Amino acid sequence: MKKQNIVLLFIFALLIIVPLVLNPSAEYSGSDSNAESMASEINPNYEPWFEPLWEPPSGEVESLLFTLFAVFGALIIGYYLGTLKEKKA
C-alpha cells in the first residue's frame, strides 16, 4: 500500500473517532429531524405537506436504507467514471 493511502486512511479514522471520543454523549441525528423542529419553532401551526407512504420501524433501519442507497449511487457513479476512463484509453 502506498504511504499516501495509509496517511489518508489514518486521517479518515481520526475524523470518525475524534468526535466520538470528545463528545460521547452527543446525539448524532440527521438533518430531517432538525428541519422539522426548526419549522415548528418558526411557525407553530406548520403542518407537513404529506405523510410518508412507509415509515421504517426504527432509526437504525432508516440509516441502513440511507447507507445502502448511498452505496448504490456511489457504485453507479464509479462504474460510469470507470467506463469513461477506459473509453479514453
Helix residue ranges, H only, the chain: 3-22, 31-42, 59-88
Average pLDDT, the chain: 87
pLDDT band at 52 (very low <50, low <70, confident <90, very high): confident
At 36, list the grid cell.
422539522
Q: Return the DSSP state at 54.
A: -
Instruction: Tell me if 82 sits within 8 A of 76, measured CB to CB.
Output: no
Give the residue-averaged pLDDT of 52-56: 87
pLDDT surpasses 90 at 75 = yes
Confidence of residue 50 (pLDDT cuts 50, 70, 90): confident
Is residue 8 pLDDT above 90, yes or no? yes
Work out the percent of the chain whose per-residue pLDDT is above 70.
94
